[in-house]
Amino acid sequence: MDPEYLLNKRVSVLKKLCAYIESKHYGLTICIENLYQDSDQGPLPIMATADEMTTLIHAVGSNHLGVCLDTGHLNIVKGDTFHDFIIGCGPHLQALHIADNLGFDDDHMMPYGKGNVNWDEVLDALHAIGYHDFFNLEIPGESHVPLGILEKKLDYLKIICDYMTQRIED
């Protein structure tokens, strides 16, 4: 589809949603996630650059609209670099879906495993914008193990999250 047509459709729908949220005084924010679509040519980016995100947000013109960075999705489509996406979205970045993968499929693996997301780049950029909002692990790919092992993985994930949070805050 024509990119301008898609932008206009997205703006139209999001303006209505944001106006509704505002009229009801819900105090909610809709966070638009960077996505991709599988195709014969490989994964196609959808809203995979900071420019696309900020263009949409400015066109909607609402304080009830933000950005959710899905690290796994951005790693697959190779839109912006992590640094450029995070810095470019800046204060509009209000949520994270933290997941790793091998760069081909949305494997939903935990950080610092066998995936190839550049976590130093992600954490340095989050630190640079002073990020202190939602930090959500999106890692169902790690849950297919016996309960005893899952408990140990959760202990390890606590260590990883503490490390990542400290890197962002320092």
What tokens does 65 get? 């609209």
pLDDT at 26: 92
**What are the b/e assignments for 63-83, b being 16+ CB within 10 Å?**
ebbbbbbbbbbbbbbebbbbe
In the chain the domains, ranked by start, together with CATH numbers, are 3-169 (3.20.20.150)
Phi then psi for 99, rounded to 5 degrees? -155, 150
pLDDT at 78: 72
The answer to whether residues 48 and 80 touch, using CB atoms and an 8 Å cutoff, is yes
Distance CA 65, CA 42 (A): 29
Give, for all 170 residues of the chain, the pLDDT tens digit: 788 999 999 999 999 999 999 999 999 999 999 998 888 888 888 899 999 999 999 999 999 999 999 999 999 997 899 999 999 999 999 999 999 999 999 999 999 999 999 999 999 999 999 999 888 999 998 988 999 999 999 999 999 999 999 999 98
Distance CA 107, CA 164 (A): 20
pLDDT at 135: 87
pLDDT at 170: 87
Sign (positive or negative) of CA dihedral 114, 115, 118, 124? negative
pLDDT at 79: 81
Distance CA 113, CA 121 (A): 16
pLDDT at 12: 97
